[in-house]
Amino acid sequence: MAEVKSLRPVKREPAAIAIASQLTQAIMDGSLPPGHQLGEADLAAQLGVSRGPLREAMQRLVQQGIAVSEPHRGVFVTKLDEEDVRDIYFTRSAMEAAACRLVLRQDPQRTADRLAKAHRAMATAARRGNMTGLSAADMEWHQTLVAESGSRRLARIAETLFVETRMCLSALTHRHPDPQAMVEEHAALIEALRAADEPRLLTLLEAHMRDGVERLTGREGSPE
């Protein structure tokens, strides 16, 4: 048979998946802010679907913890307080540290190459002062790290955590990080990965996450 490589299987995702993606996107970029109610009638009309698939999509968000359901009242976008921010970054830290350990026993160089690609996008965005692009490149970087681990479960868990991270970020658009520091931190991480220096990699990662928390909570932990 003639194998035609450019032909890929037609992907037709069910409505519930598509709806969940759109809702997630809207929640991440702040269009649906924390505490906002996901009214069934409104959303169904707006998305051009019926309540059935919409409710299925909402159950997915609730299961992820991105939304919460209050019986007979509706489902609402989850509100994140300062404790949540710490929890998110702590859990991310544990997840990504685990991903690092997996990457180190596989192909650190290849992973480093792929991370470097995201890192270049980050550096470019930083140079141009493109903060949204910087944030996107940051997410891309961490997503690549987890994907490279090859662990389905880490990938699934990280997906939710990244959504929550972006919820935090879009809620505090005014507090801008130091782009230069961000670029440098990721560069150091890649370098440690290339050197296959596990202790240093994990230490840098933990510090990186701590920076993330302090950036969002008001860096209460920094003496001088």
**Residue 71, interface with DNA (CB under 7 A)?**
yes
Part in contact with DNA (CB under 7 A); list of ranges 12-20, 82-90, 94-102, 153-161: 12-20
- Concatenating the DSSP letter of every residue in 120-131 gives HHHHHHHHTT-H
Closest CA to 192 of 212, 208, 214: 208
Site residues for a copy of itself, 117-146, by CB under 8 A, read none
| Shortest distance in whole angstroms from residue 103 CB to a copy of itself | 13
Q: For helices 82-104 and 131-149, what crossing angle results, to 10°?
A: 50
Part in contact with DNA (CB under 7 A); list of ranges 72-80, 97-105, 141-149, 212-220: 72-80
Partner whose footprint covers residue 98, from DNA, a copy of itself, none (CB < 5 to 8 Å by kind):
a copy of itself
**Residue 4, interface with DNA (CB under 7 A)?**
no
**What distance lies between CA 211 and its chain's CA centroid?**
16
**Residue 52, interface with a copy of itself (CB under 8 A)?**
yes
CB count in 10 Å sphere of residue 114: 16
**Residue 102, interface with a copy of itself (CB under 8 A)?**
yes
Helix (H, G, I), strand (E, B) or coil at 77: strand
**Residue 223, interface with DNA (CB under 7 A)?**
no
**Residue 82, interface with a copy of itself (CB under 8 A)?**
no
Residues that bind DNA (CB under 7 A): 12, 14-16, 37-41, 48-53, 55-56, 69-75
